[in-house]
Amino acid sequence: MVKSIGILTSGGDAPGMNAALRAVVRTGIYHHCRMFAIYRGYEGLIHNEMKEMTSSSVSGICRMGGTIIQTARSKRFMDQEGRKEAYDNFKRRGLDALVVVGGDGSFRGLHAFINEFGIKGIGLPGTIDNDLYGTEYTIGFDTAMNTALDAINKIRDTANSHNRIFIVEVMGRHAGDLAIYTAIASGSEEVFIPEKIEDFSAVVGRIEKGISRGKHSSIIIVAEGDESGGAFAIKEKFSKAKPEWDIRVSILGHIQRGGSPTATDSIIASRLGYESILGLLDGKSDVMVGYQSLDRVVQFIPLEETWTKKKSIPEDWQNMAKVLAS
């Protein structure tokens, strides 16, 4: 029976991690568990940096960016020796389960920890990269996407005013989700993602065509992990092919990781945080709690059904709203 639960945030911070923390702590306390925040990710577990949380420890944090319990990319936890030190502290505190908000590296560590020491553990997808299988959205992706979109819209104004081509680099080490979604949302002309090799001369041809159609600007979005290199490497290639083009580079960088979470991120984080505790209490372990809404598919619904059938607010959502406010 799970009675004492630790929670940590790990890897790159992501907007919505605080909302997840609030949901995990409040749901745990509602179900009579003792809840412990572990600071600086797995590093805090290795160095025994933990604090017992009350309901008011997480008051007012759900609209805050970053993570109030901080995060780290712990190299030591990747080794069994480091994990053993972490486990000694885990046991000394009387913890029996661990909730980890993070990305794939954090989950690899959690999986090893669970299997080496027989503890219970559950993962919450928290990364702006949206690169985890099993969830349609990760916590932080929507905010990062909207931050990037806002920046690209502003870049478009200046690009149009000068007849320029802008190469905008967004985050995403191995994943093109942020790049492709923001490219679509911003109406950008081209996008380079790590998952696909672009035919460079075809890209040049399409941009040329746009210019001859009277376009005043072109925006090319590049994921930082693209195999052609980052934005500056791609600019070099364009400048060689078309020295007459006026090209600028803009790297959006860590601005995409900050800021207050969007409503979508707060809701996903709250929902997943709440469900992670219900899952643990139900005996689930060594799993990630994922979020599937539309499953990225389009469906065709008979027109008549759109008014004859009713969408209802699920009862568990109504319960969740109560528990999280407690």
Judged by beta carbon, residue 10 or residue 186, the one nearer ligand F6P is 10
The distance of closest approach from Cβ of residue 258 to ligand F6P in the complex, given in angstroms and rounded to an integer, is: 11
Judged by beta carbon, residue 9 or residue 27, the one nearer ligand F6P is 9
Judged by beta carbon, residue 210 or residue 230, the one nearer ligand F6P is 230
The distance of closest approach from Cβ of residue 170 to ligand F6P in the complex, given in angstroms and rounded to an integer, is: 8
229 Rama sector, left if φ>0, alpha if ψ -120 to 50, beta otherwise: left
What is the C-alpha to C-alpha distance for residues 25 and 22, in angstroms, rounded to an integer?
A: 5
The distance of closest approach from Cβ of residue 180 to ligand F6P in the complex, given in angstroms and rounded to an integer, is: 14
Is 88 annotated in the active site?
no
Interface ranges with ligand F6P (CB under 6 A): 11-12, 73, 103, 127-129, 171-173, 224, 257
Phi, psi angles (nearest 5°) of residue 292: -120, 120
C-alpha distances out from residue 126 to 14, 105, 129, 269, 291, Å: 6, 11, 9, 8, 11
The distance of closest approach from Cβ of residue 86 to ligand F6P in the complex, given in angstroms and rounded to an integer, is: 21
Q: Which two tokens stand for residue 157?
A: 């104004």
The active-site residue, picked from 129, 131, 142, 177, is 129
Q: Which long-range contacts (CB under 8 A, 24 or more apart) does 241-247 make?
A: 241/200, 241/201, 241/204, 242/204, 242/208, 245/165, 246/162, 246/163, 246/164, 246/165, 247/164, 247/165, 247/166, 247/167
Phi, psi angles (nearest 5°) of residue 6: -100, 150
Judged by beta carbon, residue 128 or residue 207, the one nearer ligand F6P is 128
Residues annotated as part of the active site: 129
